[in-house]
Amino acid sequence: MTRTTNHEELMCYDTQGGIFDGEISPAEATERVRLANRAWVVKCLPGDVLREYISDNGTYWTDDIVDQAISAYMGEYDSDEDFAQAMAEDMHYNAQNLYWPFNHIDWEQAAKEHMFEHFTIGRHYFRYL
């Protein structure tokens, strides 16, 4: 038996995880894959972290928001202390830019000072733009 309808049938995916969340059209899925691949190639930014970044910013998947995520992404670290130590080591290569840590080698305290300019999604670190 053939069913007749008075409307156009649309296909959608219903998936969870990675770059997908709920129902999504094939065109939107293709666009997300394109944007997520760009974020991975440019900055090794994982798709699920990119999805959460975009969701946290309450916006849609666009080139602009992906560019913002790429600019803000600082990498994956096991702890705030590891992140702070890596950032301090990077800054010491150019001593003229040394503004932090002021008086601490206590990485827990130094990390607390440094995290005012950063936020995390899981173990992935971003700077506020």
Q: Give the residue among 35, 26, 43 at the shortest CA–CA distance from 61.
A: 35
Rounded CA gap, 88 and 84, in Å? Answer: 6
| pLDDT confidence of residue 92 | 66
| pLDDT confidence of residue 13 | 53
Q: Give the residue among 68, 61, 73, 59 at the shortest CA–CA distance from 24.
A: 61
| pLDDT confidence of residue 75 | 92
Prediction pTM value: 0.73
Q: Which residue has the tokens 């309808």?
A: 5
Q: What is the mean pLDDT of each run of 10 residues along the chain (129 residues)?
A: 54 61 80 89 89 86 92 93 85 59 70 87 91
Provide the residue type at 39 as one letter. A
CB 65 within 8 A of CB 38: no
